[in-house]
Amino acid sequence: MSAPLPPRVFDSPALLGAELAREIADGIAEAAGAGWRYVLGCPGGRSPKPVYEALAELTAERRLDLRHVVIAMMDEYVLPDPDAPGGFHDVDHGAHNSCHRFAAEEIVAPLDAAAGPGRGIPADAVWFPDPADPEAHERRLVDCGGVDLFILACGASDGHIAFNPPGTDRHSTSRIVELADTTRVDNMGTFPGFASLDEVPRHGVTVGVETIVAHSRRAVMIVHGAHKREAVRRLTAAHGYDPAWPATLVTECADAALYVDRASVGEDAA
């Protein structure tokens, strides 16, 4: 049984993001000096945005070269398609809710601009699980030696992580899943372009719990905002993986940490 993770509390999401971005920037620089690839596991959505923004600032400030960086994304919405291999295809990559669009516009473009011409992340170094062959994502992570640091985020209402719903098996790997309605409601806040719940896709391709636990050398769960107080309560009480709140997988990750802001623990910022 794992010990509960002690939270590291920050006065604001911006300060949380800046601290984690510094660690990532240090890792990118160290890997470049050693001639290694640096693999960063990334979620989409609101929670990691302070990290991505701070990382772009540090990339420009430190003049980081990102040509050895890989962005390993966690999931994507998919739609049923009887003619597609596996029976599903990705949503349009230009759609407001596409994780491909999020990665391109919210992660890669700012980092590339900060790094400068010819020093950005290669186009073939942004990885997603593929609905035609989800297990290929597992094999690629194994072949590259794993994820140097996995940024993790937790669903507010049900503790989903990536698209893994409550009840997910501890040994699950990359696969197609049916999204829980609680997850779909949370996603309406993540992607405000949805006019109603009916517009939120019902399926996604996602990494699994085992994917994250087995393939990450460092994992940092980031939680901020008063709407995440239940998430913090659950995460700080967990002694191991609880399928009722999948984000508790962080307790079983190597070199794991929990970064939270004061609002999420019910404190006023100093």
State pLDDT tens for residues 149-169: 999 999 988 999 999 999 999
Residue 181 lies in a domain: yes
Q: Is residue 270 part of a domain?
A: no
Average pLDDT, the chain: 95
Please check whether residue 102 lies inside any domain of the structure: yes
Whether the model clears a pTM of 0.75, i.e. scores above it, the answer is yes
Q: Could you give the number of structural domains in the chain?
A: 1
> Residue 269 falls within a domain, yes or no?
no
Domain of 14: which CATH number? 3.40.50.1360
| pLDDT for the residue numbered 259 | 98
| Residue-level pLDDT at 193 | 85
Query: CB under 8 Å, gap of 24 or more: what pairs does 184-191 form?
Result: 185/157, 186/155, 186/156, 186/157, 186/158, 186/160, 187/97, 189/46, 189/156, 190/44, 190/45, 190/46, 191/96, 191/97
The sheet with strand 149-153 has its strands ordered as 7-10, 256-261, 219-223, 149-153, 38-42, 69-73, 126-127
CA Rg value for the chain: 18
Residue 1 located in a structural domain? no
Q: What pLDDT score was predicted for residue 269?
A: 46
Q: Is residue 97 domain-resident?
A: yes
Name the residue range of residue 99's domain: 8-264
Question: What mean pLDDT do residues 69-94 have?
Answer: 96
